[in-house]
Structure 1
């Protein structure tokens, strides 16, 4: 018979709660007349969890590579169902109540996320830091960076079609797997729905595998690294625009704001802002090419236009012109120095040529080197 729904549970020493989770899922199949299966993705249990699952006629998939993401990927890829619902085997989620997920999947959604903040978090089910800081902050960053409407990025109970799973091309092996799934689904424009989900205290006597600070950092790191716009482009543009505007004013002469005077020393810093901002923008371009060419991020029309607009020849020409501009300013500064018989430079007007000259030459060299490396990264095209 064709399996409609596979319930996949990652497992690492869950003997205390595994049986009740399997029985609830099987009871759901029977009550709703659904052709389903329970897959236990075992990640090296030593407490007899595997035998418990086999005694209850659940399929056991042994996943030797450690990690939450590794276990789930092993279980999902072994599943036979058209739809998959994944959930923790700690009895914190009610596998008796999976119909809202399945209904949304049957309606044509690629993914269905649970939202614990809408469904309810029972007393003692979530640590204070997770409830009021970790989850809200990371979910907000995820919505901001990836234009997602998901309210709870880290709900462990979620469903998706097997077809959508392969479209997402998931890579991570740890707890950040949960974030990657939503990020990839959003970037690939998959249809995502959300349902309220109740979170209960888990039934284990031991502490959870989740480490608050380590796993929180892994989620944050993943969100930032997968969004080069926010990591490199936006900070770079802000720094560079600020540096260019302030440098333009300071090149013409000192600027006074109240009793504070800004002169050539400030100009040195503002030109530094231009260089730093430009470095950020260059790293954005290189990161974008690397992540797309290595299939970490999906390719877009904007990406193809990037290669039409930026190429080696244009980069070499622009870089050379910037270097020439810097040389011209250097010659003018040299003439000013020569006019005082190469003595001590006390006139700050010379520095107003030297500092922009050095800045232009550095920008030119950066553009040339970037163009060369950009072309190497994009050789596949």
Structure 2
């Protein structure tokens, strides 16, 4: 038996009741090991199989690691942590990927790549291997967003045949337990500046006699949600800034009086919508800040587990937020008092709405913003608390 210190490659498969397809996957793993002449191990991260998959794997000479927590991410993460090889190449145990195609991945890793991704669109997708909604909607859209949000070079964001050096993979501190694990790996690799390459691989119909664990719409949404969480700039910050700019432009224009646009007159009714844009825009920007802080404090961002790593928005403190909130509240109160004083000039009788609302609308807007700033500040400060468990 090869000493663990001499193992260069670990071929890793997550497994949950794959007795039907596991033997052929194990045979393909052994074939590529023999062909490459590499010192390697076959590792099965078993997620609680009840069909004898563990015995099949052990009989074929594979090492089985039990994973008590259910989930694709839990299985792969445990497998990566347990791997003895310098490099880890992984794929499902359902027969949809051919481990015999992983030679170029190993070559890329040996040449200095940190992460090696397969590309099914370059290697070929057999008929019936991928649902149309995955092939033409899910994968292209998510891969495009991955390149847009995170500058990920791969064009097949969720290819299941992938690998990396164990040092790089463990250094990413991967934490998700479900299908989001596939997104987390490449997102963190890109944000960490790791070298990522892509090699062609094929996809064939899986050999299961039951529906796959993957649920396209549900799992696609989970991937998208995870990507948006990691990129609050696109989900919250940019839309929020656009709304703030539109609202402030409306305020600057309409507070002085009505605006005549070739027969179309914008007045205090439009001013109300401008106020709504300011409030919604600020809320979106606040959520961008909260999301960034949450990702850091939850240990999901690269380097966030390093105690010496500076937190995002380090210059923001609760006390400064309270000062800003008090200033906005005072401004809103002053504008409201001025509105009341103008009302008193008519002995608290009727007032022209177009006159009084130019004081009331900004006054109310400032007071609501004051509360939003204070609440956001308290919430951010709450997330930053380091609790001893």
TM-score (normalised: structure 1): 0.94
Q: Give, in whole Å, the separation in 1 of the partners of 2:54 and 2:309.
A: 48
Decide whether aligned partners of structure 1 residues 102 and 201 sit closer, same or farther in structure 2, where only a CA change above 3 A counts: same
Q: For 1:32-86, what per-residue CA distance to the aligned partner results, in whole angstroms no more than 9, with x for missing partners? A: 1100011111112222222211111111112121111111122222211010000
Q: Is the 8 A contact 2:292 2:312 kept in 1?
A: no
Match of 1:182 in 2: 186
Decide whether aligned partners of structure 1 residues 317 and 236 sit closer, same or farther in structure 2, where only a CA change above 3 A counts: same
Match of 1:115 in 2: 119
Q: Is the 8 A contact 2:101 2:201 kept in 1?
A: no
Secondary structure of 1:306's match? Answer: coil
RMSD: 2.1
Q: Give, in whole Å, the separation in 2 of the partners of 1:376 and 1:63.
A: 33
Superposed displacement of residue 145, structure 1: 1.6
Runs of 4+ aligned structure 1 residues displaced above 4 Å come to: 299-305
- Which residue of 324, 327, 338 corresponds with 1:318? 324
Superposed displacement of residue 379, structure 1: 4.8
- Which residue of 21, 24, 29 corresponds with 1:20? 24
Q: For 1:172-194, what per-residue CA distance to the aligned partner results, in whole angstroms no more than 9, with x for missing partners? A: 11111111111111121111111
Q: Give, in whole Å, the separation in 1 of the partners of 2:162 and 2:230.
A: 21
Match of 1:334 in 2: 340
Q: Give, in whole Å, the separation in 1 of the partners of 2:176 and 2:318.
A: 34
Q: Map residues 341-356 of structure 1 onto 2, 5 A cutoff.
A: 341-356=347-362
Match of 2:8 in 1: 4
Secondary structure of 1:180's match? Answer: helix
Secondary structure of 1:84's match? Answer: strand
- Which residue of 302, 306, 310 corresponds with 2:313? 306
Number of matched residues? Answer: 380
Q: Which runs of 5+ in 2 are unaligned?
A: none
Q: For 1:330-363, what per-residue CA distance to the aligned partner results, in whole angstroms no more than 9, with x for missing partners? A: 2221221111111122241111111001111222
Secondary structure of 2:118's match? Answer: strand
Superposed displacement of residue 280, structure 1: 1.4
Match of 2:149 in 1: 145
Decide whether aligned partners of structure 1 residues 242 and 84 sit closer, same or farther in structure 2, where only a CA change above 3 A counts: same
